[in-house]
Structure 1
């Protein structure tokens, strides 16, 4: 712990900040006003709420010291230090019926869904220790267990933004340090675009996340639960990034972008080209072109089309997700335990 009210686990991976404590080391409010003329309270300048919601310095917000210690204990309890091959401890099934997974995911990928509802139906005792819930909240990261086996989970409650990409990068690195396998539950239309997001460094922070996915040293497992579009597919460990296992739910869709976005993009390009030639575009032909593009994209992004091209390891019933994950986690554990010893000398054969 520190005088500023931040608690760190022994691994120094996560920071728990206590509400009401401040960490304005370089300049307090009086010095800030004297130097820049800006007026701010201690809370606005370096408070726990600001650092866990805006700056991302803190990962967890605690009410007091006792609550901070509770959070630190939960983080440490979620990690797994047993040697590979050791029998899994006793575990409790999810508190929510797995059949309810059939009604959580909408067929329309434009509709938002709280993926923590999915997590609650596949992890032990529906117990999920979420990291930095107030920072980059559209990206959900946290620790859980599946049939006693520790796992880190990354999923999406919306597009990936700079804060969410930063949080996911940090979480991937922490999982690698503790040798915790990572599960990616894909449900994103991609990385956010727009002037404000580009100025905030979307490309820079998004590439850091993709680099972390590429460089991860622990087993990575991917499930396409909903949409997995564009670069979001890369950041969420799509097939091209070689996860150990990759499965799809029947409603999943995978594409460079949505059909409507592709059609609208081509319509804008066509109209711009016609304007340069000084010729108008017939609305009927434009609508026909858009309908054709949407049809092609929607057909190609269908899960049975992508799975037929071996872009996953199979389509699974959402209700079987927990059983499938338990099996593949055990396979990963055994595979890591059976890694051959590297030879430091050649063998002379007769």
Structure 2
């Protein structure tokens, strides 16, 4: 865990620097633009927001793309929880890489699942052309962003765009497909092809401002609705727009919140470092739940799986936690409990940590068909079919987080001997599994919604927002059923 902690800090330092000192100087001094995190400070009520997948884009075959070139997350604007998608133009000039598109699409899915108004801070040079085959043609590539915008609008999910930089090529669709758009004079531009393309195609020389600047689009084309003379004014306009949405959400749950009886800082020491067996997961649960209370379900049956009811930050949840190998009896017990929570509209929390043994399939159907919100946290190792039965990414949890020590792979490192006989191949496969099963490999590719430090798993800044979204989802579902 010490090595994971060091690596976590290294990754955090790298993403906080964005594209590096030279890119930051060019962004702020030459281009007279505000850094993306400062933009969020002007836009959001406070800094108590949930950032999604901050380490996405690190360690990829085509290089490091810090934070995938954009920040996404959930924060309050004028008291209303909103999704934000904000390009970081210090990273490759805001160019969209395959991982950028994937991160933006994930944010839109979260917004649709939870009916969150969405704000786009657009500052992008468009797609990275050398990787166009991984960005453009397929169903979940760049065009899906605009498809989602149309679907979200049909779902009556408000969308607002702030043009605070270049909106070139596909990026031009984002503001024009939003309900309302704000553009910043002097730095905001919208065009399918910029001045160099115009020069190449027609021989005409034209400035970015004349081709697609703030005055043109607010006074002539009408593509944008609000002209801002400076960035701070643009975010004030945006906050005012959010205040007019008439978008009422349920009151936040005022249930009494109790701290666990046991110190949450102990979780750092409880993070598994050996993946060949499971620890007693009750040690973790007792440091996450209100008052360390846990009402266990089927305590004497299928004991390698822990199931039961608890409250976290005042919200009632059902907990499904690995306490060993996922046996046939444990799977039956898990199926029963998941169906029970689904019947009672109780959100589910999955804590993944299994020994690398074959899993049972009887639980997968219950997890796949459960319609309540699901949050998965991988606290140790999770391999093969256990990932599915315990609501891994393929089973579509609302959110999936990993502790930095977590390992996720089809096969655990050191367990390939039964499948490969050649000693050299065994060594190669185990080295590959060691690298590709790490939490940092996973989060760099956006197979999760981010890494959580063990002691932060319960903290308000990290997860309380999610539980509020869950209560909102349940309230909305009840209204729709009526």
TM bin, normalised by shorter chain, reads 0.5 to 0.7
Partners of 2:479 and 2:320 in 1: CA distance: 32
- Would the aligned equivalents of 1:176 and 1:217 in 2 still touch at CA under 8 Å? yes
Question: Normalization by structure 1: what TM-score?
Answer: 0.62
The answer to whether the 8 Å contact 1:105/1:113 transfers is no
1:88 and 2:272 correspond? no
Which whole-Å deviations, capped at 9, do the CAs of 1:70-123 have from their partners, x for residues lacking one?
Answer: xxxxxxxxxxxxx96463321210001111001112211114311110000011
TM-score, normalised by the number of residues in structure 2:
0.46
Once superposed, what is the RMSD of the aligned Cα atoms? 2.0
Q: 2:393 aligns with which of 217, 231, 239?
A: 239
1:266 aligns with 2:266: no
> Structure 1: any 5+ residue segments left out of the alignment?
1-82, 194-205, 268-285, 343-350
Structure 1 segment 157-176 matched on structure 2, within 5 A: 157-176=323-342
1:259, distance to aligned residue in structure 2 (A)? 2.2
Q: Contact 2:356/2:412 (CA < 8 Å) preserved in 1? A: no
Alignment of 1:176-255 (within 5 A): 176-189=342-355, 192=358, 206-255=360-409
> Is the 1:184–1:220 contact (alpha carbons within 8 Å) kept by the matching residues of 2?
yes
- Conservation of the 8 A alpha-carbon contact between 1:101 and 1:121: yes
Q: Which residue number corresponds to residue 463 of structure 2?
A: 325
- 8 Å CA contact 1:97–1:121 kept in 2: the answer is yes
Q: Answer yes or no: is the 8 Å Cα contact 2:289–2:310 preserved in 1.
A: yes
Give the 3-state SS of the residue equivalent to 2:420 in structure 1.
helix
Structure 2 residue corresponding to 1:102, chosen from 268, 283, 295: 268
Check conservation: 2:290, 2:314, Cα contact below 8 A: yes
Q: In the TM superposition, what is the alpha-carbon distance from 1:207 to its structure 2 partner?
A: 3.1
In structure 2, runs of 5+ residues without a counterpart are 1-248
Asked whether the 8 Å contact 1:85–1:337 carries over to 2, the reply is no
- The alpha carbon displacement at 1:307 in A equals 1.1
SS for the counterpart of 1:322 is coil
Query: Aligned partners of 1:141 and 1:253: how far apart in 2?
Result: 22
Alignment map for 1:62-141 (pairs within 5 Å)? 85=251, 87-141=253-307
Rounded Cα–Cα distance in structure 2 between residues aligned with 1:233 and 1:184: 10
1:121 and 1:305 map into 2 onto residues whose CA distance is 28
CA change 1:236–1:93 in 2 (3 A) is: same
Paired residue secondary structure (1:158): coil
Decide whether aligned partners of structure 1 residues 289 and 207 sit closer, same or farther in structure 2, where only a CA change above 3 A counts.
closer
Q: How far apart in 2 are the matches of 1:340 and 1:174?
A: 17
Q: Deviations over 1:186-228 (max 9, x none)?
A: 00135647xxxxxxxxxxxx33310000100100100010011
Deviation at 1:145, TM superposition (A): 0.1
Distance (whole Å) between structure 1 residues aligned to residue 252 and residue 264 of structure 2? 27
Classify the secondary structure of the residue corresponding to 1:266.
Answer: coil
Distance change in 2, residues 1:169/1:141 (3 Å): same
State how far apart, in whole Å, the 1-side matches of 2:441 and 2:434 are.
10
Q: Please, which moves more after superposition, 233-242 or 287-296?
A: 287-296
1:268-313 CA-partner distances (Å, limit 9, x unpaired)? xxxxxxxxxxxxxxxxxx3322211110111110110011111100
Inter-CA distance 86–296: structure 2 relative to 1 (3 Å threshold): closer
CA distance in 2, matches of 1:87, 1:163: 36
Report the secondary structure of 2:385's partner residue.
helix
Contact 2:264 2:287 in 1 (8 A): yes
SS in 1 for 2:414: helix
CA distance in 2, matches of 1:340, 1:140: 29
Paired position in structure 1 for 2:442: 306
* Separation of aligned partners in 1, 2:326 and 2:447: 22
User: Cα distance 1:189–1:111, how it changes in 2: closer, same or farther (>3 A)?
Assistant: closer
Is residue 88–residue 147 contact of structure 1 (8 Å, CA) maintained in 2? no
